[in-house]
Amino acid sequence: MYRAPRGTQDILPPEQPYWRYVEQKAAEICRLYGYERIDLPMFEDAGLFTRGVGEGTDIVEKEMYVFEDRGGNSLALRPEAGTASVCRAYLEHGLHNRPQPVRLFYLGPAFRYDRPQAGRYRQHHQFGCEAIGDADPALDAEVIDMAWQFFVSLGLGRFKIVLNSIGCKKCRPEYLSSLKEHYSPHTDEVCDDCKVRFQKNPLRLLDCRSPQCQPIADAAPKSTDYLCAECTEHYNDVKRYLGSLEIPFEENHRLVRGLDYYTRTVFEVQPEEGGAQSSLGGGGRYDMLIEELGGKPAPGIGFATGIERIILGLQKEIVPVPSISSPQLFIANMGHEARDAALKLSTTLRRNGTAVIMATGSRSLKAQLRQANNLNVPRVAIIGEDEVKTGTVVLRDMTTSQQESMPVGKLLELFK
RNA sequence: GUGGGUGUAGCCUAGCGGUUAAGGCGCCAGGUUGUGGCCCUGGAGAUCGAGGGUUCGAAUCCCUCCACUCACCCCA
């Protein structure tokens, strides 16, 4: 027996209302903020991600699905649904010629080869948006506001915004050296991962959760104390805007995020009760990324959310979601001639916009009605030999159990 | 990649060494020569995750593998 590959899942009809709900809320938020949809390839040149997301990141180093196609190209299933691909598309299609910033959103799968667990899958789905071409801190505020409003509109109650600034290429080197200075007396006490981080990616020392590293990380210098004048002003503006928008946020000097492209503002949406997967979504500014990908410099900011994690949250908080409507009419039929008539009637009704299911197979009327009942169809049209002879149908209301014989024409009239 | 937990029909569960593996939900059919939901009756559906071992005898004990799951790393 074949099974869905590890870390992937089938989204069966009973789960679909959650997905429709989240997608619809995402589209609505984007409409309100003027973000337009973009759909991107599921795979790209592997280099886009190693360059964009960063060579030394876990995502690229150990989680990316890389493969060679028959033409010998090195491709990768996208490990994030949006940012890198959107930037590539921005360059490829000359989107800098459109009014800046360009505001885009996307919704779709991303792929990471890690061990699955609750809220973590090898194929998961992200909704995110990007605003490229403007470094205004008001845009940072707009994007964080969007993320906030998105979660509010979903009806999720227990989450928070965590904020930090990790500076730019001008001020970060000084911060990093002071960070390493702080850690260097402790290189023996620190966990094995942090020993590597100390060498390879000192910034990430800060988001270690290993117990022995906590006191050291907590006492570490804060990036916000080392920001250059421009970054300080930018960060202060972002906070001021968020304040005036009355968006509650909490600063955390240890929030750094594991992707290389972030500059200045980074933020995360986290559940209030810190579950296993601490992040429902996150994002930040990436002012060097476009340039890094070979384009004329252009700043950008964006965020991405994990749909599976959102749905888990909706189910945990028992947020009601609209159900998907059942067909309006079920057509039961007995005998060959009735089948012909039922088939014709079904099609006529559908062409008029009525959702119809016709019974197939050769089951008893009783079985057909049972099926209609189980499918939650509110009304059933019954066609047997008598009805064929007289050109009528029996229309049964499944909620009241009332039924009435009528000419086919009247039925069509009723469903117009 | 590392650690814990769990694997009995589509789903949930009983059985934890002894003859044909039990029940509930769901599905199908009958109880009404053309009428659903409730009730009653019946039926289909399981190589008891796989392989090996112990034993007269294994779903049950042991070993190996696999899968699922939760957690770590890290992220959505």
Q: Calculate the angstrom distance between C1' of B18 and CA of A3.
A: 36
User: Quick one: average pLDDT of A323-328?
Assistant: 90
Domain ranges of chain A: 13-171+227-316, 329-414
Residue A212 has pLDDT above 80, yes or no: no
Residue nearest to nucleotide B49 (CA to C1'): A1
Complex-level ipTM beyond the 0.90 threshold: no
Residue nearest to nucleotide B37 (CA to C1'): A373
Residue A210 has pLDDT above 90, yes or no: no
Q: What is the CATH number of domain A13-171+227-316?
A: 3.30.930.10
Give the nucleotide nearest to A126 (CA→C1').
Answer: B76
- How much of chain A, in percent, has pLDDT values that exceed 70? 99
Residue A273 has pLDDT above 80, yes or no: no
Render pLDDT for A30-64 as a digit per residue (tens, 0 to 9). 999 999 999 999 999 999 999 888 887 888 888 99
Give the nucleotide nearest to A83 (CA→C1').
Answer: B76
**Tokens representing residue A145 in the block:** 């506001």
**Tokens representing residue A369 in the block:** 């009605």
Q: Calculate the angstrom distance between C1' of B75 and CA of A105.
A: 20
Give the nucleotide nearest to A401 (CA→C1').
Answer: B36
Answer whether the bond into residue A101 is a cis peptide, omega within 30°: yes
Give the nucleotide nearest to A276 (CA→C1').
Answer: B71
Half-sphere exposure of A395 (CA within 13 A, CB side): 17
CA distance A323 to A93: 39
| Per-residue pLDDT at A208 | 81
Least confident of A106-120, A183-197, A230-244: A183-197
User: Quick one: average pLDDT of A133-137?
Assistant: 94
Render pLDDT for A166-198 as a digit per residue (tens, 0 to 9). 988 888 888 888 888 888 888 777 787 787 888
Give the nucleotide nearest to A116 (CA→C1').
Answer: B69
Q: Calculate the angstrom distance between C1' of B30 and CA of A405.
A: 28
Residue A91 has pLDDT above 90, yes or no: yes
Q: Calculate the angstrom distance between C1' of B63 and CA of A77.
A: 39
| Secondary structure element (H or E) that encloses residue A311, with its range | helix A307-316
Residue nearest to nucleotide B32 (CA to C1'): A366
Residue A257 has pLDDT above 80, yes or no: yes
- At residue A125 the predicted structure's pLDDT band, cuts being 50, 70 and 90, is very high
| Secondary structure element (H or E) that encloses residue A77, with its range | strand A74-77
**Tokens representing residue A257 in the block:** 């995020």
- Angstrom CA distances, A245 to A149, A233, A239, A387, stand at 11, 18, 10, 66
Residue A401, amino acid: S
Mean per-residue pLDDT of chain A: 91
Q: Taking the CB of residue A387, how many other CB atoms lie within 10 A of it?
A: 24
> Are β-strands A249-251 and A159-165 bridged in parallel, bridged antiparallel, or unpaired?
parallel
> Are β-strands A379-383 and A329-333 bridged in parallel, bridged antiparallel, or unpaired?
parallel
Class of domain A329-414: alpha beta
- How much of chain A, in percent, has pLDDT values that exceed 90? 66
**Tokens representing residue A77 in the block:** 């299933």
Q: Calculate the angstrom distance between C1' of B30 and CA of A15.
A: 34
| Per-residue pLDDT at A274 | 61
Give the nucleotide nearest to A367 (CA→C1').
Answer: B36
CA distance A379 to A353: 16
Q: Calculate the angstrom distance between C1' of B56 and CA of A2.
A: 39
Say if residues A216 and A184 touch (Cβ distance below 8 Å): no
Q: How many residues belong to chain A?
A: 416
| Per-residue pLDDT at A209 | 79
| Per-residue pLDDT at A275 | 60
Give the nucleotide nearest to A58 (CA→C1').
Answer: B74
User: Three-state SS across A110-170?
Assistant: EECCCCCECCECCEEEEEEEEEECCCCHHHHHHHHHHHHHHHHHHCCCCEEEEEEECCCCC
- Measured to protein CB atoms, the chain B nucleotides within 7 Å are 1-3, 26-30, 32, 34-37, 67-76
Least confident of A105-109, A141-145, A324-328: A324-328
Q: Calculate the angstrom distance between C1' of B33 and CA of A172.
A: 87
Identify the DSSP state of A341. Answer: H
| Secondary structure element (H or E) that encloses residue A388, with its range | helix A385-390
Identify the DSSP state of A38. Answer: -
Q: Calculate the angstrom distance between C1' of B17 and CA of A134.
A: 74
- Angstrom CA distances, A410 to A100, A288, A333, stand at 58, 67, 18
Q: Calculate the angstrom distance between C1' of B25 and CA of A367.
A: 19
